[in-house]
Structure 1
Amino acid sequence: MTWDWTYTGEILPDLLNGLRVTIIATVLGYLLALVLGLVWTLLRRSPVTVVSQTTRWVVEFIRSTPLLVQLFFIFYVFPSFGLTLGPLTAGIIGLGLHYSAYTSEVYRAGIADVPRGQWEATVALNLPKSRVWMDVILPQAVRKVVPTLGNYLIAMFKDSPLLLAINVAEMLGAAYQIGAQTLKFLEPITVVGLLFVVVSVVSSIIVRRLERRYATY
């Protein structure tokens, strides 16, 4: 088995297009996870027991269910209820929903680590609840968990090949289609592996720089 550089050059544009789809799914899914995770966190702090406990069990259910099962449910089962989504949209929602359960726990840990004196100061100043959260608590909590949130971004990127199961033309899906057509898998699969390594390493470097700049210990 020998490496064919000409063949590699021919398939590289298709693999890079798959990389573009992978990055789009990862970035949009991650933004959804950040927003939805914060929503879960705030709902779990609700003084209404029904709301807080229901949210808790929803988050636990999401965390305890494999991502692949969730993707299949969103893409193949939702149409039975009248909600049909495109493969990429379903993939973004699946990634975002799954990782929102984890970012929720990260936010909770960050909020719990905010010094009690900060809470007492907001009460003493009689700040509106919106200002308490947006100007005092969340900025401190998020800075404390920047490293963990960054790690989940990289983890989501590495989980993106699961989108192949719902027909998303991401990087691994592109490589598989090329290999199936040419019966040559060495070059496409190897290139995909190298692209994952490159993007993951670059992402790790960026996360570490953000950690040094914004995180507190």
Structure 2
Amino acid sequence: MNHFFDVPYALHILPDLLRASVYTILITLVGFAIALVLGLALAILRRSPIKPLARAVGFFVEFVRSTPLLIQVYVLFYVMPLYGVTMSALAAGTVGIAVHYACYTSEVYRAGLNGVARGQWEAACALSLSPWRTYSGVILPQAIRPMIPALGNYLVAMFKDTPVLSAITVVELMQQAKNIGSETFRYLEPITLAGLFFLVISVTFAQLVRRLEIGLRLP
């Protein structure tokens, strides 16, 4: 207890924090995969010629983006069971963070779609391509490349927001560090290690996104 940072104790708790970090990474990857797909769907629906549908989707996106993630996961885990919708803490946390970031990624998609030259849309219409063929074969291949840096930023941001899920009893990396601290009354080592894990994993995610951006760059 007299040491400023007890290395043997840090090595002792390291396996527990490593397991929690893997758990946190899995939550992030699953949530981000959902956010990518749902965000694209929201962006396309927001461009719908059916005005009531486009406005409803727009309102949903702005509502979710304008309210805290903590409140949203609280509603999913504590309020929705009152109306017959019950989820585990892990499911509620993953769904909550996925939907929250889907609304942010939808704006990235919307900006990318709007950045495609109008002539491309008109050419697809002139060829009588279906909406599916228009998006998958003409528009998205041109729009995706500029979106990658922004989408990568949201991947890192989602990973750093996973501690919010501890509010609904999800034992992710930060919660595991706090649990270890509360058991031993030594917070320096677990919190420091958790911070280092967040730093290393966030930088790794950023580098992977950077390599993907370079790999997809046009010559």
**CA positional deviation for 1:60:** 0.5
Please, which of 120, 124, 128 is the counterpart of residue 122 of structure 1?
124
Unaligned runs of 5+ residues in structure 1 are none
Q: Which residue of structure 2 lines up, in the alignment, with residue 154 of structure 1? A: 156
Render the CA deviation track for 1:108-154: whole Å, top value 9, x for unaligned.
Answer: 00000111121122123222221111111112111220110011000
Q: Kindly report which structure 2 residues correspond to 1:1-217, keeping only aligned pairs within 5 A, or say none.
A: 1-215=3-217
Alpha-carbon distance in structure 1 between the residues aligned to 2:39 and 2:29: 15
Tell whether the 8 Å contact from 1:145 to 1:215 is kept in structure 2 after alignment: no
**CA positional deviation for 1:213:** 2.0
Counterpart code for 2:108: V
Cα pair distance change 1:63/1:41, threshold 3 Å = same
Unaligned runs of 5+ residues in structure 2 are none
Tell whether the 8 Å contact from 1:161 to 1:172 is kept in structure 2 after alignment: yes
| TM-score, length-scaled by structure 2 | 0.95
After superposition, the CA RMSD in angstroms is: 1.4
Kindly, what percent of the aligned residue pairs are identical?
50
Alpha-carbon distance in structure 2 between the residues aligned to 1:49 and 1:127: 22
Moved more, 104-113 or 137-146: 137-146
Alpha-carbon distance in structure 2 between the residues aligned to 1:62 and 1:215: 32
Aligned residue pairs: how many? Answer: 217
Counterpart code for 2:95: I
Runs of 4+ in 1 over 3 A off after TM superposition: none
Moved more, 204-213 or 172-181: 204-213
| TM-score, length-scaled by structure 1 | 0.96
**CA positional deviation for 1:17:** 1.0
Counterpart code for 1:193: G
Cα pair distance change 1:69/1:215, threshold 3 Å = farther
Alpha-carbon distance in structure 2 between the residues aligned to 1:202 and 1:129: 37
**CA positional deviation for 1:58:** 0.6
